[in-house]
């Protein structure tokens, strides 16, 4: 991902704050972090983040109360982190200007993928994703391998986009089912069937990019 994308992480839980910052830096983001919103205005002015990952429930001003301050500071995207999963809470977050909403507990892979998606929508990251000779264009819903267009079904493209967006990280079948099909209770064989078809189409034009991580899931990377 683009090294110019800046992310400010605001969370009073030191473990979460450190883990999120580390995962984002591993993907090439520049990061800053704060335990609360006491100096948020100053941090926004000095760091000029493209995205703020903001915890809803913190000592002092809550994340939802700080959200208007972030919005007033400029065209900065916001992902809310929260244990509140009620529909009314989600609606309130979006009404206040949140771009996305991640419910605790969450995986770092999910958060990083959502951060990338939000930043691409706002034009803060390259619109295409490249892994080796594979180029995925989420906006055009096209994929090319070694310069050749891949003829993919809509589901195969969603699957490839998910894996490419999380490139280098292992995604479990449950994560794939949730994010591609929208439900966790579908037959896990759906993932295997569609992955097999996707692999056949991709490997007509180059070596394997989608790797099985035994007992854990699947990973897309140029190296085994």
User: In this structure, how many other beta carbons lie within 10 angstroms of the beta carbon of residue 173?
Assistant: 18
Q: Is residue 6 predicted with pLDDT exceeding 60?
A: yes
Q: Tell me whether strands 142-145 and 148-149 are parallel, antiparallel or unpaired.
A: antiparallel
pLDDT at 186 over 70: no
Q: Give phi and psi for 21, each to the nearest 5.
A: -60, -40
Instruction: Find the range with the poorest average confidence among 84-98, 180-194, 199-213.
Output: 84-98
| Percent of the chain residues topping a pLDDT of 90 | 47
Backbone region of residue 74 per phi and psi (left: phi > 0; alpha: psi in -120 to 50; beta: other values): left
Statement: residue 3 has pLDDT above 50: no
What DSSP letter does each residue of the chain carry, written as one string?
--TT-EEEEE-S-HHHHHHHHHHHHHTT-EEEEESSSTTHHHHHHHH--SEEEEESS-SSS-HHHHHHHHHHHSS-EEEEEES---HHHHHHHHHTT-SEEEESS--HHHHHHHHHHHHHHTTSS-SSEEETTEEEETTTTEEEETTEEP---HHHHHHHHHHHHTTTS-B-HHHHIIIIIS-SSS-THHHHHHHHHHHHHHTTSSS--EEEETTTEEEE-S--
Band the pLDDT of 174: cuts 50, 70, 90: confident
Average pLDDT score over the chain: 87
CA distances from 116 to 5, 65, 91, 129, 209 (A): 9, 25, 22, 10, 21
10-24, 124-138, 163-177, range with the lowest pLDDT: 124-138
Alpha carbons 99 and 114: distance in angstroms, whole number: 10
pLDDT at 184 exceeding the cut of 70: no
Model pTM? Answer: 0.59
What integer pLDDT is reported at residue 103 of this predicted model?
Answer: 87
CA distance 147 to 133: 8
The pLDDT, as a whole number, for residue 216 is: 92
**142-166 pLDDT tens trace:** 999 988 999 999 999 999 999 998 8
Of the pLDDT bands very low, low, confident and very high (cuts 50, 70, 90), residue 66 is very high
CA distance linking residue 190 with residue 92, whole number of Å: 35
Of 38, 39, 124, 46, which is closest to residue 78 (Cα–Cα)? 124
């Amino acid at each position: 991902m683009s090294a110019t994308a800046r992310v400010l992480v605001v969370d009073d839980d030191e473990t979460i704050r450190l883990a999120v910052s580390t995962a984002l830096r591993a993907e090439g983001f520049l990061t800053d972090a704060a335990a609360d919103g006491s100096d948020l205005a100053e941090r926004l002015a000095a760091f000029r983040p493209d995205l703020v990952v903001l915890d809803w429930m913190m000592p002092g001003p809550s994340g939802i109360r700080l959200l208007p301050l972030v919005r007033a500071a400029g065209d900065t995207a916001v992902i809310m982190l929260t244990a509140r999963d009620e529909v009314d809470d989600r609606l309130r977050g979006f009404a206040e200007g949140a771009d996305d909403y991640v419910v605790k507990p969450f995986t770092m892979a999910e958060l990083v993928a959502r951060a990338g998606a939000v930043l691409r929508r706002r034009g803060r990251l390259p619109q295409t994703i490249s892994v080796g000779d594979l180029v995925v264009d989420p906006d055009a819903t096209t994929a090319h391998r070694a310069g050749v267009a891949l003829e993919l079904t809509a589901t195969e493209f969603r699957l490839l986009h998910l894996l490419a967006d999380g490139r280098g990280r292992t995604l479990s079948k449950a994560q794939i089912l949730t994010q591609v099909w929208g439900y966790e209770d579908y037959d896990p064989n759906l993932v295997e069937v569609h992955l097999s078809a996707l692999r056949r189409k991709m490997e007509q034009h180059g070596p394997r990019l989608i790797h099985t991580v035994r007992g854990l899931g699947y990973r897309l990377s140029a190296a085994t």
